Amino acid sequence: MEESISIIDVAKRLGKRKQTIFKIIKKLGISTKKQRHSKHRGQAIAYITNEDFNQISEYVSKNQNLENTDNDRDINATSPIDHGNFYLIQLEPDHEPGRFKVGFSSNLGERLRDLKCSAPYVKIVSTWPCHRLWEKTAIDCVTVGCRKLHTEVFRTDNLDNVQNKCNQFFALMPKINKAKNDNA
């Protein structure tokens, strides 16, 4: 797509969340075009024209008090993309059982397919219904005492201990309507 800009870049340039940009796009009746790109690991990313970007930028500047978070909304009224699963995955269960990955996915099947490209022996240990906003806090809580190897990859001597921390963390969190979680 010639002279286009990704929604990711629009959000960064305007200092807004992608969800906020998508709401503005809908309000203004702007259409997006999805395109796969190696820069985004082959994922289909929404793009708009530079002319549409200028229209969105003007809208944002006229609406300085535009919401940028979901803090004022009911926790169970967030969009479906904000719901998914927090996962605990062993990357190489037979060769290195203490190396694991934790994170959030709104589509666990797709996430697992992506991971299998670089770690073909991945094994899901467990999953928990989760809001996207909980991910960083959950990771920080359940990986205490683990060695960080990469962004969401850790090593432990006791994976059962990590799973127990996950169970405890999610037992304390508000329940999520399961129907909103079915695509994960």
How far apart, in Å, are the Cα atoms of 140 and each of 74, 85, 119, 134, 143? Answer: 24, 16, 23, 10, 6
**Domain limits, the chain:** 4-62, 83-181
Q: What is the mean pLDDT of each run of 10 residues along the chain (184 residues)?
A: 79 87 90 79 83 89 61 41 88 95 91 88 95 94 96 95 97 76 42
pLDDT of 44 reads 83
Cα–Cα dist 87/91, whole Å: 12
Of 125, 142, 134, nearest to 176 (Cα)? 134
- Could you tell me the pTM of the whole model? 0.56
Q: Residue 36 half-sphere exposure, CB side, CA atoms within 13 Å?
A: 3
pLDDT of 77 reads 42
pLDDT of 117 reads 87
Cα–Cα dist 62/180, whole Å: 34
